[in-house]
């Protein structure tokens, strides 16, 4: 099972490590199941950019970025080369170790579902 280490741009939030993450689960699903705050206005269907994250390590263990996802990433606040949408980051490798930084959610107009 995969491991995901979450850090936060908002340094007042302590890092969180989630172990035993099954393949075929998205990073957005992992945040929801583990009470990690990440906005996602469209409900996880790649129709907005509110679940924008930075994948710092382990991107080769995730589903490849699609053209549609790239278009929405370009609309996110402060996109970088390692930017992805959490709803589209499906884990493919059961031995993956993935490191994700969640942008400061106070800067994003959105809400959790």
- Check which CATH number belongs to the domain holding 89 and give it: 3.10.20.30
Contacts with 4 (C-beta within 8 Å, 6 or more apart), sequence order: 17, 18, 21, 27, 30, 98, 99, 100
pLDDT in tens, 9-67: 999 999 999 999 999 999 999 999 999 999 999 888 999 999 999 999 999 999 999 99
Which range marks the domain in which residue 26 is found?
2-106
Q: What is the pTM of this model?
A: 0.92
Instruction: Indicate the number of domains in the chain.
Output: 1
Contacts with 34 (C-beta within 8 Å, 6 or more apart), sequence order: 16, 18
Q: Is residue 94 part of a domain?
A: yes
Q: Is residue 44 part of a domain?
A: yes
């Amino acid at each position: 099972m995969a491991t995901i280490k979450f850090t936060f741009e908002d340094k007042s939030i302590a890092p969180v490590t989630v172990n035993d993450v099954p393949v075929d689960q998205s990073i957005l699903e992992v945040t929801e199941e583990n009470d990690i705050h990440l906005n996602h206005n469209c409900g996880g269907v790649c129709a907005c950019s509110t679940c924008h994250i930075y994948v710092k390590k382990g991107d080769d263990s995730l589903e490849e970025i699609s053209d549609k996802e790239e278009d929405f990433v370009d609309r996110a606040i402060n996109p970088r080369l390692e930017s992805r949408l959490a709803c589209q980051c499906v884990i493919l490798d059961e031995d993956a170790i993935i490191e994700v930084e969640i942008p400061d959610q106070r800067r994003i107009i959105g809400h959790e579902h």
